[in-house]
Amino acid sequence: MPEGDTIHRAARTLHMALAGCTITRFETALPALARIDFDTPLRGRAVQSVESRGKWCLMRFSGDLVLVTHMRMHGSWHLYRPGAPWRQARPDMRVLIATPDYEAVAFNVPVAEFHTERSLGRHPVLKALGPDLIASQFDQGAAVQKLRASAAPDIAWALLDQRVMAGVGNVFKSEILFLCAINPFAAVSSLTGAQLERLVTTARKLVALNARLPTQPHDAFYPGSRRTTGMMSPRARLWVYDRAGKPCRRCGTPIRVVRQGLDARGTYWCPSCQPLAICD
């Protein structure tokens, strides 16, 4: 699933392929985007830049136009050479941006909006994002303060709140908590300052490290090699996520999982390494 590292790699790949190039063709299955293209065509504009903000991807075009996309659970950007076969079905296409050398195709993207720089500055979700874990000017103190002030029912939900830190998703949530030996259901108020500092430091380290992983040549969203363990085996990439019932890599205790929220997201943890009541 796309998290902050995935979106950063996607934006970097799209930027390298498209920035400075002229759009030769634009297609969309989304009426709101089609109306903008009809009134002020994308064809002939130049792609100026592509960047990530947390889990959001921003593609800027000449003429003060910005395409903002969010992948949610199943969306993805692919990058193809002209005429190359797509690896997803045509009905799944939501946006296509073609240049002389590449076709960037967004599949199953649930959120895609056009903005001007002015309207982008008023975007309620983007304005509310917490410090971006991948940003070069990451504000550690602000992230710790926002985490401490979170009204989330437990620390697992607090880490997923993009208003606290932008970039943590469900996989990283479970992995960060395991590495910090913190039970996912602990109240934020029960954690010490040192624990909150360690959570933020670990989150930034894991997301930034995975954001630097190489991408597939023709797939901007490359989910295959996210690692938190430092182990090279493809079967030992993660500590606890998606390992329910399997032995903890540290102590051998079976990993547990609870499904939470409307999306039934899995929270994975080791009950021995992450007891509910712990000391700093």
Q: Flag whether the pTM goes above 0.95.
A: no
pLDDT range class, residue 8, cuts 50, 70, 90: confident
Q: Answer yes or no: 55 catalytic.
A: yes
pLDDT at residue number 216? 46
Rounded to an integer, the average pLDDT of 215-244 is: 72
pLDDT-derived band of residue 226, with 50, 70 and 90 as boundaries?
A: confident
pLDDT at residue 230, as a whole number: 83
Structural tokens at position 223: 């989910």
Band of residue 31 on the pLDDT scale cut at 50, 70, 90: very high
How far from 68 is each of 33, 123, 274, CA to CA, in Å?
Answer: 11, 10, 38
Q: What are phi and psi for residue 115, nearest 5 degrees? A: -140, 160
What integer pLDDT is reported at residue 232 of this predicted model?
73
The percentage of the chain sitting over the pLDDT mark of 70, rounded to a whole number, equals 92
Where do the domains of the chain lie? Answer: 4-128, 140-269
231: left (phi over 0), alpha (psi -120 to 50) or beta: beta
Active-site pick, 2, 146, 204, 243? 2
Class of the CATH-defined domain 140-269? mainly alpha
Of 134, 132, 121, 117, the closest CA to residue 60 belongs to 117
Mean pLDDT of the chain: 90
Tokens 């990058």 sit on residue: 79
Catalytic pick from 3, 9, 103, 243?
A: 3
pLDDT-based confidence at 219, cuts 50/70/90?
very low
Residue 278, pLDDT above cutoff 60: no
Q: Is the pLDDT of residue 243 over 60?
A: yes
Q: What is the pLDDT of residue 83?
A: 92
pLDDT band for position 218 (cuts 50, 70, 90): very low
The DSSP call for residue 3 is -
Whether 223 is catalytic is no
Res 211: pLDDT: 80
More confident residue, 127 or 210: 127
Which one is catalytic: 60, 94, 226, 265? 265
In degrees, to the nearest 5, what angle opens at C-alpha 144 toward C-alphas 142 and 150? 100
Clarify whether 173 is annotated catalytic: no
Catalytic residue among 53, 55, 94, 146: 55
CB 222 within 8 A of CB 229: no
Q: Average pLDDT in the 179-185 region?
A: 97
106 vs 136, more confident = 106
Task: Examine the pLDDT at 220 and tell me if it is beyond 50.
Answer: no
pLDDT digits (tens, 9 = 90+) for 142-155: 999 999 999 999 99
pLDDT band (50, 70, 90) for residue 9? confident
Is 260's pLDDT higher than 80? no
Task: Quote the pLDDT of residue 262.
Answer: 60
pLDDT at 245 over 90: yes
- CA atoms of 229 and 238, how far apart (whole Å): 6
pLDDT of residue 221: 44
Q: Are 246 and 255 in contact (CB under 8 A)?
A: yes
- Residues 25, 156: Cα–Cα separation, whole Å: 43
Which CATH architecture does the domain made up of 4-128 adopt? Alpha-Beta Barrel (3.20)
- pLDDT of 1: 55
265 is catalytic: yes
Instruction: Please give the average per-residue pLDDT across 151-165, as a whole number.
Output: 94
Q: Please, are residues 166 and 132 in contact by the beta-carbon 8 Å criterion?
A: yes
